Structure 1
Amino acid sequence: MSDDGSVWTQRLDGFRAATAARQPTPGCGAAAAVTADIGLALVLKGLRISEAHDSDPVRLQLLQAAESLLGRPGAFADDDVQAFRDFLDAARAGEPEQKRAASRQACAVPLALAHCCLEALELAVKAWPLTDTNVQSDAQAGAVLIHSGLSAALINVDADMGSLDDPTAREQAAQTRRRLQDEGDGLLKRLRDRVMGDVPGSA
């Protein structure tokens, strides 16, 4: 997709309006990608502010990893829009092989997004205890947004799996989907347990 048509060159209210419009795209996959990337930005904010106050080698390593990762979840927004447009075009054309390829891609994009979200969520969980108290809320909220993006991407996978005509491909996608959700849920629970353990009077 060209930069002119990118989700990331739109005004925020324009993207919201397009998401709410009576048109196929952008849909849940694009919204999931944007949500996850904003969540990662919050985690990075917490790391940067904390590192500016008092440098820590482990935190600095996480900060650099977050900087490298920022933008990757969001890039899947345009990929998702393009994949679904290609699927609709293939369905209209009525070419079986073209439709099969488009179906695989429509399912592969949200799975790849979910993998990226899982990487970001792992980073967020590691970052939270190394983030200054006054910005831990940003890191925690960022982790929740990343998890939401992951979960929304996997809902998109559920919707797309039905178009796969290969039973083996459907089962592989379903297994990967369940694993990603389980791992993401486990990471978020680990963070919540850590947060509650650090809240006075929560024991």
Structure 2
Amino acid sequence: MSDEASIWTQRLADFRAATAANQPTPGCGAAAAVTADIGLALVLKGLRISEAHGSDPTRRALLQAAEALSGRPGTFADDDVQAFGDYLNAARNGEPEQKQAASRQACAVPLALAHCCLEALELAVDAWPCTDPNVQSDAQAGAVLIHAGLSAALINVDADMASLEDAATRDQAVQTRTRLQAEGDDLLQRLFGQALSRS
């Protein structure tokens, strides 16, 4: 997708308006990607502010990992718009093989986003205890947003799976979806447990 067409070159208000518009895209997949990327930015903020107050080797390693991951969840926003647009075009053209290939891609993109969100959520959980208490709320809120992005991406997978005709492909998508949600839920509960033990 060209820079001109990218969600990330739009004004935030324009993206919100496009998401609310009477048109297929951007939809839940793109919104999930943007939400997760903003969540990761909050985690990164907490690490940067904490590190500025005094360097710590563990935190510095987490900061470098967060910086390397920053922006990656957001790339799936444009990918999702493209994949769903391709699916709609294939469905209109009525070519079964092309439609199935587009269906697989439409399902693969939110699954890949969910994998990326899980990586970001693991980082957020590890980062929270290394974050200064004054900005732990940013890190915790960031983790919640990343989890929301993961969950929304998997809701998108649920919708896309209906168009997969191959039973084995559909079963594999179901198993992957279930595992990603369970692992994401466990990570978020772990963070909540840490936060409660500190309060």
Q: TM-score, normalised by structure 1?
A: 0.98
- Superposed CA offset, 1:107-135 (max 9, x none): 00000000000000000000000000000
Deviation at 1:142, TM superposition (A): 0.1
State the match for 1:119 in structure 2: 119
Alignment of 1:11-30 (within 5 A): 11-30=11-30
2: CA distance between counterparts of 1:43 and 1:73?
13
Deviations 1:153-192 (A, max 9, x none): 0000000000000000000000000000000000000000
CA offset at residue 68 of structure 1? 0.5
1:174 aligns with 2:197: no
The Cα of 1:195 is off from its aligned counterpart by 0.2
Determine the C-alpha separation between the residues in 2 that align with 1:190 and 1:128.
11
* Residue 67 of structure 2: aligned partner: 67
Q: Displacement of 1:5 after TM fit?
A: 0.4
Runs of 4+ off more than 4 Å: none
Q: Give, in whole Å, the separation in 1 of the partners of 2:62 and 2:8.
A: 25
Counterpart of 2:128 in structure 1 is 128
Q: Which residue of 1 aligns with 2:54?
A: 54
Partner Cα separation in structure 1 for residue 176 and residue 117 of structure 2: 14
Alignment-derived partner of residue 106 in structure 1: 106
Aligned equivalent of 1:31: 31
Inter-partner Cα distance in structure 1 for 2:81 and 2:165: 22
- Corresponding position of 1:92: 92
Match of 1:81 in 2: 81
- Between the aligned partners of 1:71 and 1:93, the Cα distance in structure 2 is 34
Q: Percent identity?
A: 79
Q: Could you report, residue by residue, the CA deviation over 1:9-64 in whole angstroms, capped at 9, with x for unpaired residues?
A: 00000000000000000000000000000000000000000000010001000000
- CA RMSD in angstroms comes to 0.3
Which consecutive residues of structure 1, in runs of 5 or more, have no partner in the other structure? Answer: none
Alignment: residue pair count: 199
Distance across 1 between alignment mates of 2:122 and 2:143: 9
In 1, the alpha carbon distance for the partners of 2:101 and 2:2 equals 22
